[in-house]
C-alpha cells in the first residue's frame, strides 16, 4: 500500500463501457500516480444516476466491467483504494451538512449545471439532485481531505466551488470559542521579547500584507520550543487570520482527460456512440476503423487527401510509428494509397494495445469473486477513513451528540 500522505481523488461515472479516451487520458495516468500519491479511485454511481439517469443498464454489470478495465490498465488495488460511492454513505451525510453552508447562487452559477439544463431541456429531468450534484462532488473530495483531484478542465468551476465551500466551512467552524482571547493569552507564553516581536510581525502582515513578516513570524513560532503543538497551531491561525483547517482546499492535478477523436470525427464519447471500447474484439476494432469518417474532400480513391482534415490521421498521431505516419502523409497527399490501406496499420496498432488489455482482464473475467473482493475491501477502507473524518467535521459543527 502506498503510504504517501498526499491524497488524490479521481472518479468515473459508470454510464457505459470505457473507451480508448478513458484509457489514454485517465487510466494510464492513474496507473502512474498510484505509486506517487495516496490515491482514491471512486466509482461515482450516484453522479451517474443524477447525470445520466442510467435507465436501460444494469449498474452492477457496468461497474464490474469498468473495474475490470481499470485492473487491466494496471490500476493496482494494493496501491490505490478503489471504491463505490454509494457504498460509503458518509458521502451523502457530508453532502447534506455542506448544503447547509452553500448559498444557492453559488450552485446556479456553475457552468456544468447550466450545460446539463440545456442538454435536458426536452426531457423535463431538471432535479434537485442535478443542482446539488456539485455539493455532493465537494463532499466526495472533502470527505477524504484530498489535496488533489484529477479531473478535466470542464470541471474546474466545480473544484473552485469545493474550495469555496471548504474555506467557508473552515471560517465558520474552524474557530474555537473565545479564539481571540485564547490567542492573546498564548502570545504571552512566548515571553516578553518574542511576544512583542510576534505582535509587531502580525500587524505588519495583517495591515500591510508583508509576506516577509509572515515568514519571520512562522520561524519565530517554530523556534518557540516551550509552545505545545496546539499553542503553535493557534498562533499560526491567529497570524494568518484563520482558524483551524478542517477541510483541505483541493487543487486540480493535470491529467484528467485526453481528447481523442471518435469514429464519426467528433470527440469520442459514450453519449455520441462513436467509441472504440477498451477490450474491444479485434474484429470490432477493424469494423469500426474501416467505417471511420475520413477527409470529406477525398471522395474517390484517385482524389488526393489532406491528412490534417482527416479524423483517422489524428489517431495515427497517437498510435503509429513515425515511419508509418510519413508513409500515410505522402500516400494521402499524392493519392498513392487508399483510405483502407491507410487504416490497416492503425487497426493493427490499436489491436496490439488491446490484446495486452484483454490478456490482463482474463483472470478477473474468469473469476467474478476477484472484483467483488477488491471492491468490498476498497469500500471498507474508504469507509473507515470517511467515517473518521466525518466525526471530526461533526465535532467542529457541534453536532456529535
Ligand atoms: S488516406 Fe488516410 S489520412 Fe488520407 S484521407 Fe484517407 S484515411 Fe485520411
Which DSSP string do the residues of 271-328 spell out, in sequence order?
TTT---BTT--HHHHHHHHHT----TT--STTS---GGG-HHHHHHHHHS-HHHHHHH
Pocket test residue of 261, 303, 304, 312 for ligand 1, highest count of atoms within 8 A of CB: 312
Task: Confirm if 285 and 276 have CB atoms less than 8 A apart.
Answer: yes
pLDDT in tens, 345-357: 999 999 999 999 9
* pLDDT number for residue 85: 98
Average pLDDT over residues 24-43: 96
* pLDDT number for residue 54: 52
Q: Look at 48 and 286; give whichever has higher pLDDT.
A: 286
- Banded model confidence at residue 2, pLDDT cuts 50, 70, 90: low
Pocket test residue of 292, 311, 325, 328 for ligand 1, highest count of atoms within 8 A of CB: 328
Q: Which atom of ligand 1 is nearest to the CA of 310?
A: 8
- 312 C-alpha to ligand 1 centroid (Å): 6
- Banded model confidence at residue 280, pLDDT cuts 50, 70, 90: very high
* pLDDT number for residue 99: 97
Pocket test residue of 339, 341, 343, 347 for ligand 1, highest count of atoms within 8 A of CB: 339
Pocket of ligand 1 (CB under 6 A): 294-295, 298, 305, 307, 310, 312-313, 328, 332, 337, 339, 342-343
Q: Which atom of ligand 1 is nearest to the CA of 307?
A: 3
Please name the residue whose Cα sits nearest to atom 3 of ligand 1: 307
Please name the residue whose Cα sits nearest to atom 6 of ligand 1: 339
Task: Confirm if 359 and 369 have CB atoms less than 8 A apart.
Answer: no
Pocket test residue of 334, 335, 342 for ligand 1, highest count of atoms within 8 A of CB: 342
Task: Decide: pTM greater than 0.95.
Answer: no
* pLDDT number for residue 58: 64
In 3-state terms, what secondary structure has residue 11?
Answer: strand
Rounded Cα distance between 57 and 54, Å, is: 6
In whole numbers, what is the pLDDT of the chain averaged over residues?
91
How far, CA to CA in Å, does 253 sit from each of 5, 158, 382, 394?
15, 14, 21, 29
Task: Confirm if 195 and 187 have CB atoms less than 8 A apart.
Answer: yes
- 345 C-alpha to ligand 1 centroid (Å): 12
User: pLDDT at residue 303 above 70?
Assistant: yes
Please name the residue whose Cα sits nearest to atom 5 of ligand 1: 295
- 298 C-alpha to ligand 1 centroid (Å): 8
Task: Confirm if 243 and 179 have CB atoms less than 8 A apart.
Answer: yes
Rounded Cα distance between 350 and 331, Å, is: 21
Rounded Cα distance between 3 and 376, Å, is: 21
Q: Which atom of ligand 1 is nearest to the CA of 298?
A: 5
Residue 274 exposed, middle or buried by CB count within 10 Å (0-12, 13-18, 19+):
buried
pLDDT in tens, 165-190: 998 898 788 877 778 888 999 999 99
Rounded Cα distance between 313 and 329, Å, is: 9
Own/partner long-range contacts of 109-112 (Cβ < 8 Å, ≥24 apart) = 110/134, 110/157, 110/158, 110/161, 111/154, 111/157, 112/154, 112/155, 112/157, 112/158
Rounded Cα distance between 251 and 384, Å, is: 24
Amino acid at each position: 500500500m502506498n503510504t504517501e500522505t498526499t491524497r488524490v481523488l479521481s472518479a468515473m461515472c459508470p454510464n457505459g463501457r470505457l473507451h480508448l479516451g478513458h484509457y489514454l487520458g485517465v487510466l494510464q495516468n492513474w496507473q502512474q500516480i498510484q505509486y506517487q500519491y495516496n490515491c482514491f479511485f471512486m466509482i461515482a454511481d450516484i453522479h451517474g444516476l443524477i447525470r445520466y439517469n442510467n435507465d436501460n443498464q444494469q449498474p452492477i454489470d457496468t461497474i464490474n466491467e469498468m473495474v475490470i478495465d481499470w485492473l487491466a490498465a494496471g490500476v493496482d488495488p494494493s496501491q490505490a483504494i478503489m471504491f463505490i460511492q454509494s457504498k460509503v454513505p458518509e458521502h451523502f451525510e457530508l453532502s447534506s451538512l455542506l448544503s447547509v453552508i452553500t448559498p444557492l447562487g453559488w450552485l446556479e452559477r456553475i457552468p456544468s449545471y447550466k450545460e446539463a439544463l440545456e442538454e435536458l431541456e426536452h426531457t423535463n429531468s431538471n432535479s434537485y439532485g442535478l443542482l446539488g450534484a456539485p455539493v455532493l462532488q465537494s463532499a466526495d473530495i472533502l470527505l477524504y481531505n484530498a489535496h488533489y483531484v484529477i479531473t478535466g478542465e470542464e470541471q474546474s468551476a466545480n473544484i473552485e466551488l469545493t474550495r469555496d465551500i471548504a474555506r467557508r466551512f473552515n471560517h465558520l467552524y474552524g474557530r474555537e470559542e473565545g479564539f481571540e482571547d485564547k490567542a492573546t493569552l498564548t502570545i504571552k507564553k512566548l515571553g516578553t521579547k518574542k511576544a512583542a516581536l510576534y505582535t509587531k510581525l502580525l500587524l505588519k502582515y495583517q495591515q500591510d500584507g508583508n509576506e516577509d513578516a509572515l515568514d519571520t513570524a512562522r520561524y519565530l513560532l517554530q523556534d518557540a520550543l516551550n509552545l505545545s503543538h496546539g499553542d503553535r497551531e493557534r498562533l499560526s491561525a491567529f497570524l494568518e487570520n484563520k482558524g483551524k483547517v478542517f477541510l483541505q482546499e483541493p487543487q486540480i492535478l493535470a491529467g484528467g482527460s485526453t481528447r481523442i477523436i471518435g469514429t464519426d470525427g467528433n470527440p469520442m464519447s459514450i453519449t455520441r456512440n462513436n467509441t472504440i471500447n477498451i477490450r474491444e474484439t479485434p474484429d470490432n476494432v477493424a469494423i469500426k476503423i474501416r467505417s471511420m469518417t475520413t477527409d470529406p474532400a477525398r471522395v474517390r480513391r484517385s482524389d488526393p487527401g489532406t491528412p490534417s482534415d482527416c479524423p483517422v490521421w489524428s489517431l495515427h498521431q497517437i498510435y503509429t510509428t513515425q515511419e508509418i505516419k510519413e508513409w500515410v502523409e505522402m500516400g494521402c497527399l499524392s493519392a498513392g494509397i487508399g483510405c483502407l490501406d491507410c487504416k490497416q496499420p492503425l487497426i493493427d496498432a490499436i489491436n496490439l494495445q488491446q490484446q495486452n488489455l484483454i490478456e490482463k482482464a482474463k483472470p478477473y473475467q474468469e473469476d467474478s469473486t476477484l472484483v467483488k473482493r477488491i471492491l468490498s475491501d476498497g469500500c471498507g477502507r474508504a469507509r473507515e477513513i470517511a467515517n473518521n473524518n466525518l466525526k471530526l467535521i461533526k465535532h467542529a459543527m457541534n453536532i456529535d451528540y
